[in-house]
A and B are shown apart, each in its own frame.
Chain A
């Protein structure tokens, strides 16, 4: 096995190709135990690991995924759905940010889709995925059809704007505030996008990967235990 081969990808299922998405590399890791530069005596300095998430899935997706995706494509036309990922029996639609509100409106109102219930949005930060550093992940639930769907919108760190969907799903009000608070994603059109968990004058966005966890050394029986983010760890 070459040491640049992606590790730990989802296992190939015997069921069919639809369940075997091609990998999409989002990060490169090097070495082990957080040691950097010269003086690396860990013996793992040459180790390279690609971090790859499940990539786009080719049709057919299986289950109800085909019908729902086609229906939505028919309603919103080309360009709105950037990518469809079927992984672990969950459907993820990557949506172009400028079309998000339109997509949500159709998902909520169309009879064949009818995702009435929005379980909120949260962020994921991929600092090394160029121009797609910040992802906003929405989970919708259809009570009529008893289905779940995930929407993912990716934006560059330099321009972290996503249209707010509070006008479609008022439930997303606090969730968008929380995602702004923790990731710095600006939801345009939100009625009052203020911090919700952190104090109003807090600098920075704590859930981003470049924001340190913080912590202090703990002394226990003479030994000093460093805080969790500075301990050696497995890359």
Chain B
């Protein structure tokens, strides 16, 4: 079968013989190496390998089963989001940046909006309810993102049950996103000045149901994995990186917390009112993949605690505004579900089309031209599930960002791949990369 596979070929190059292996055809490689095979083999893993979390390409130099050198090839998912944002209004920018790290869209949106708000100087004017909703969505998002990390990481080492239950719980989280924002991902829900929409009726009940469900089912992961000898054998002492290494390489998030250092921007440089919530920063002291798993697991429980506090606060904030009162910045209309899907609410359309010419002009100006942002630059960093997500914005005083740059934690963390993998086994590369939890949409932007 393999002999007729047009993609499984052998060719000679100046660097040596190149084999294209597509699976189940290792015999052709062994046979092709001849009598005295070269010891050194360079394996090109990806960019479409299922274990590389998207389109990550790993270039591994191996001797037997040992990885002697490892490098990353990235850029396969580069979509020019930062460049595109320079051609859209400040509000439209949210729609672009939410697509970067597609597993944590609310973090992308919030980092960007906090930077816009700092440039505008309206950080204190964002309504209380908008902040609580941002925190609620971010913490739900942290749970769903960690679930994907744990689920896919488990799947890659053969723990399929972890994958199936992981995606089961993630689905519950995405259902909540869908209820609150209308979409499962790419929400564009957090906007400069607040959030797009108030909580729909019944959302708080659903959130409480979710909390009950998660409290019941989150401990299953610990029961399945924490003391599982196979799981521990695959994760313990794999992908070791100590605190000094993390600092030198600019690593943040669960990786640095697995070294015992409680670096969490929610505690050190609070935003969106995180200083008023009661939660802990879990750490572990093993600095390996197992430690990162335990940190993520514990963080989901902490996030659930914050979600619970948000639900209590939102119950008291019913009917409060979710968008800044400043009419020059705040989006003029509330959205509502109509016969043709989500759109401007009928009340608003009635107002601008039938009652007030000025309101129509205002709506038109704000939606097509957008607001102007005073010239200058700002850098806002928040704690995403993967670490420090920074947004550097430069304004020239216009209606569009002059430059938008995101310091994505996946991009920075992936630099640690070689130091974690070199000298280890090929199979451990998968575990080490999974423990970094890189999301290529964020790496490449």
Contact = CB atoms under 8 A, between A and B. Distances in A.
Contacts of A120: 250, 390, 407, 412
B269 A8 contact: no
B394 to A, nearest CB: 5
A51 B379 contact: no
B239 to A, nearest CB: 18
B405 interface: yes
A119 interface: yes
A171 B375 contact: no
Given A174-B412, A197-B78, A206-B80, A8 B390 contact: no
A75 interface: no
B250 A119 contact: yes
B118 A88 contact: yes
A198 B444 CA distance: 10
Given A137-B392, A171-B412, A8 B250 contact: no
B392 A171 contact: no
B375 A233 contact: no
A225 B348 CA distance: 27
Given A8-B375, A9-B374, A119 B75 contact: no
Interface size class on chain A is 35 or more
B82 interface: yes
A53 interface: yes
A112 interface: no
Contacts, number: 143
B32 interface: no
A23 B392 CA distance: 20
Given A139-B407, A171-B248, A171-B249, A54 B376 contact: yes
Interface size class on chain B is 35 or more
Interface string B371-389: 0111111110100000010
A133 interface: no
Nearest to A181: B75
Contacts of A139: 379, 390, 392, 407
Contacts of A23: 375
A156 to B, nearest CB: 18
B374 A234 contact: no
A221 to B, nearest CB: 15
B50 interface: no
A143 interface: yes
A124 interface: yes
Interface in A179-235: 195-199, 206-207, 213, 228-229, 233-235
A51 B354 CA distance: 39
B173 interface: no
Interface in B222-255: 247-252
A119 B74 contact: no
Interface string B70-112: 0000110010101110111000000000000000000000000
A132 interface: no
A90 B398 contact: no
A233 B411 CA distance: 33
A150 interface: yes
A150 B127 CA distance: 29
Interface in B353-405: 369, 372-379, 381, 388, 390, 392, 394, 396-400, 402-403, 405
Interface in A1-21: 6-11
A70 B294 CA distance: 43
A235 B121 contact: no
B403 A51 contact: no
Given A117-B252, A171-B412, A175-B412, 5 more contacts: A88-B119, A117-B250, A170-B415, A173-B415, A197-B78
The 3 nearest A-B residue pairs measured at CB: A171-B250, A8-B397, A122-B405
